[in-house]
Amino acid sequence: MSPLLKTNHIHIIGAGLAGCEATFQLTKRGFEVILYDMKPQETSAAHHSRTLAEIVCSNSFGSINTNESATASGLLKAEMMLMDCELLKIAQQVAVPAGKALAVDREAFTQTVTEQVKANPKVTFICKNMANLPDDAWVLIATGPMTSTELSESIAQLLKREQLYFFDAAAPIISKDSINFDTAFYQDRYDAGLEGKKEQNGSYINCPLNKEQYEALVDILINGEKTELKSFETESASFFESCMPVEVMASRGIQTLRYGPMKPVGLTDPRTGRWPYAVVQLRQDNAEGTLYNMVGFQTNLKWNVQKQMIQMIPGLEEANVVRYGVMHRNTYIHSPEVLKPTLQLKEYPKILLAGQLTGTEGYTESVATGMMAALNIARLCNHMEPIVPPQETMLGSLLRYITRPEAMHQNFQPINSNWGILPELPEGAYKRKDKKTRNKLYVERSRVKLLEWIATAEESLISV
Ligand SMILES: Cc1cc2nc3c(=O)[nH]c(=O)nc-3n(C[C@H](O)[C@H](O)[C@H](O)COP(=O)(O)OP(=O)(O)OC[C@H]3O[C@@H](n4cnc5c(N)ncnc54)[C@H](O)[C@@H]3O)c2cc1C
């Protein structure tokens, strides 16, 4: 136990991505954690497994930066690795092939995290659907987008305001042995040329569609029966762009999917030697490579319609669907009004929040805020000022963005890492259209600033 903590423990509610990362960060700094989760006794409508840190939809933590290309999500992960993020280390241990993305075997990931949490002598795990917050204690709330109704109400009461809701959806998963490889082919975009073979020749499985097949698919997506939303859900439903149901995307225009998840460019059908009209891509979902998820096909279609829709896709005529797509409510607070960039509640500085509940969006972002909240709890308990990474870092910008005062009275929408929230580079640092150089400069700047910050932040709180 930390000497300054005396009899206090840190209470973490929610053993998901943010809660588990925070638990690891605090215990490795000597703190004792009481970790609550309603699983496995109860699960939300989006959670299925009995294990902790479940990844509920795609098995990808997003792209990784290489010397050739950089993305905003890749930058966030690079920063998290510099800050010794524990869950990303586990993700790397159980990674599956996914081109330039960090995708994991979901079972191995969640199993490893659960085993490490439960074997940790500094963690007391309590299986409970928490309706209220512990009194007069350091508390981290990390109950995620599916926070139970009772706790949602308690948080709303505490914050003296209504909570906000939005919706997103999970994609179907298919067993590989039911895919017809006379039609489907392995290939990563642009990685294989005309000589593309039907055998493993990339990480993704591609199902090629001609114009007629594509239009029939769009038609069933738009007109197929959907799961009905309850009235309060319909009133407030809005879709987050990066996890938008495929049918909503299809309804935006006949060509929308061909410029989105069904984009054919760079994928050469070995049977024709040409790019198909459209493509459905499948990404490996487990280490054994027996399961594949349909990239971008998060959906709210009724299960029987999903089956029909999937079997219309060339190569998937006899697909065995091991998990159908689902759609759920998502819960988050109005962070600009109630949260500080340090992730403390403005009115209750001993209560911190992390994960999707704060209005960041995505697995990686949830882990990142869990890590940051834990660092600040550790500092506060040791009578140090809480900190926020420099603005030039993706994490620093994210924390400032979700708590920006300008959004205090605006409709607040969740956000994931993106270049647009970073402070601009000096005038003339790159040619206006040269995004590749711009991104590289952002990455270099972040690294310099973050290393300076780590060096000046009091020892033991950044590195162990
Ligand atoms: C359907 C769906 C699909 C998504 N798909 C993606 C995706 O593909 N890619 C992506 O990057 N992000 C996705 N997200 C967004 C987000 O990244 C994940 O939800 C992520 O798991 C959030 O992490 P978290 O730590 O905030 O919450 P979670 O990982 O959900 O963890 C919260 C934990 O709190 C527990 N809990 C809730 N209420 C209580 C309570 N009252 N008492 C005790 N325990 C409680 C839950 O059981 C859960 O274990 C999706 C979200 C949803 C809902």
Is 60 exceeded by the pLDDT of residue 200? no
Tell the residue number behind the tokens 């409970």, with chain if given.
128
In 3-state terms, what secondary structure has residue 398? Answer: helix
Q: What is the mean pLDDT of residues 153-169?
A: 76
- Mutation test residue for ligand 1: of 163, 242, 243, the one with most atoms within 8 Å of CB: 243
114 Cα–ligand 1 center, Å: 15
Hey, which residues does 165 pair with through a beta bridge? 331
Position 326 confidence tier, pLDDT thresholds 50, 70, 90: confident
pLDDT given at position 319: 93
Q: Do 239 and 248 form a contact (C-beta atoms < 8 A)?
A: yes
Is 80 exceeded by the pLDDT of residue 387? yes
pLDDT given at position 300: 86
Could you tell me if the CB of 366 is within 6 A of ligand 1? yes
Could you tell me if the CB of 130 is within 6 A of ligand 1? yes
Q: Where are the beta strands (DSSP E) in 142-258?
A: 164-169, 173-175, 185-186, 205-209
Could you tell me if the CB of 143 is within 6 A of ligand 1? yes
Could you tell me if the CB of 77 is within 6 A of ligand 1? no
By DSSP bridging, strand 321-323 and strand 173-175 are antiparallel
Average pLDDT, the chain: 88
Q: Do 149 and 331 form a contact (C-beta atoms < 8 A)?
A: no
Q: What is the mean pLDDT of residues 311-328?
A: 88
Distance CA 377, CA 350 (A): 8
Task: Give tens-digit pLDDT for 126-146.
Answer: 999 999 999 889 999 999 999
Distance CA 171, CA 283 (A): 11
Distance CA 120, CA 236 (A): 41
pLDDT given at position 240: 53
pLDDT given at position 141: 98
In 3-state terms, what secondary structure has residue 43? Answer: coil
Position 325 confidence tier, pLDDT thresholds 50, 70, 90: confident
Position 399 confidence tier, pLDDT thresholds 50, 70, 90: very high
Task: Give tens-digit pLDDT for 13-56.
Answer: 999 999 999 999 999 999 999 999 999 999 887 788 899 999 98
Tell the residue number behind the tokens 């090629």, with chain if given.
208
Could you tell me if the CB of 356 is within 6 A of ligand 1? yes
Highest mean pLDDT among 62-66, 291-295, 307-311: 307-311
φ/ψ of residue 56, rounded to 5 = -85, -20
Q: What's the start-to-end Cα distance of the chain, in Å?
A: 15
pLDDT given at position 238: 55
Distance CA 77, CA 367 (A): 10
459 Cα–ligand 1 center, Å: 32
Close Cβ partners of 223 (under 8 Å, ≥ 6 residues apart): none
User: What would the two tokens of residue 294 be?
Assistant: 């349909």
Distance CA 117, CA 96 (A): 23
Tally of CA atoms within 13 A in the half-sphere of 202 that contains its CB: 28
Task: With CA atoms as reference, report the closest residue to 295 among 226, 353, 242, 369.
Answer: 242
pLDDT given at position 4: 40
Task: With CA atoms as reference, report the closest residue to 176 among 287, 277, 263, 67.
Answer: 287
Tell the residue number behind the tokens 């159908």, with chain if given.
324
132 Cα–ligand 1 center, Å: 19
By DSSP bridging, strand 101-104 and strand 123-127 are unpaired
Omega of the bond prior to 40 within 30 degrees of 0, cis?
yes
Could you tell me if the CB of 87 is within 6 A of ligand 1? no
Could you tell me if the CB of 140 is within 6 A of ligand 1? no
Could you tell me if the CB of 300 is within 6 A of ligand 1? no
pLDDT given at position 64: 94
One-letter amino acid identity for 276? P
Task: Give tens-digit pLDDT for 260-298.
Answer: 999 999 999 999 999 999 999 999 987 778 889 999 999
Residue nearest to atom 13 of ligand 1 (CA): 362
In 3-state terms, what secondary structure has residue 25? Answer: helix
Task: Give tens-digit pLDDT for 234-269.
Answer: 444 555 555 688 999 999 999 999 999 999 999 999
One-letter amino acid identity for 167? F
pLDDT given at position 459: 60
Q: How does 304-321 read in b/e, with b if 16+ C-beta sit within 10 Å?
A: ebbeebbeebbbbeebeb
